[in-house]
Amino acid sequence: MPHPVSSFVVEYFYWVFIAVLVLNLLQRKYRREVLKKRAATLYIAVVVFAFYIYAYGVIHFDFSDLLLIPYVAVAVTLFAVYRRVLFPFAYHCTSCRQPLDFNRMLYSDSNLCSQCAEKQASSADGA
Ligand SMILES: [Zn+2]
């Protein structure tokens, strides 16, 4: 039985897994500011690697590619239910709605732009 989808997953998702782990290692540099997002990239890496193993099993045991659907359904449900834990990344500042730059998006748990983060830090110091 041919496995076009499983073969694609086995061929490319290993590299997606490695890329997510590299991002996780890059986040380590900012370890005090990025605890939640660092945990999230680790969880995402686990989900991606489990998908890789699952697709490998589908090919190895010569099952149909349709068996990937339950895994994808479970993964999508997990991401929907635990969205705040698994995907804490924001594209806009949560205070002023300015688009966040790439570094603040990936390496800062606050999801605030640099101006709002400065304002918050100075008001916290004054209080
Ligand atoms: Zn802002």
Tens of pLDDT along 67-109? 999 999 999 999 999 999 999 999 999 999 999 999 999 999 9
Structure-token pair, residue 89: 């990344």
49: its two tokens: 């690697």
Ligand 1 centre to CA of 118 (Å) is: 9
**Å from CA of 88 to ligand 1 middle:** 17
pTM of the model: 0.87
Q: What's the Cα-to-Cα distance from 2 to each of 24, 26, 69, 88, 90, rounded to whole Å?
A: 35, 38, 16, 38, 39
Euclidean distance between CA atoms 114 and 30, whole angstroms: 15
3-state secondary structure of 25: helix
Report whether 45 contacts 20 (CB < 8 A): yes
Share of the chain above pLDDT 70, in %: 98
Q: Quote the ligand 1 centre to 42 CA distance (angstroms).
A: 27
Helix (H) or strand (E) holding 49: helix 35-60
Domain ranges in the chain are 1-88, 90-127
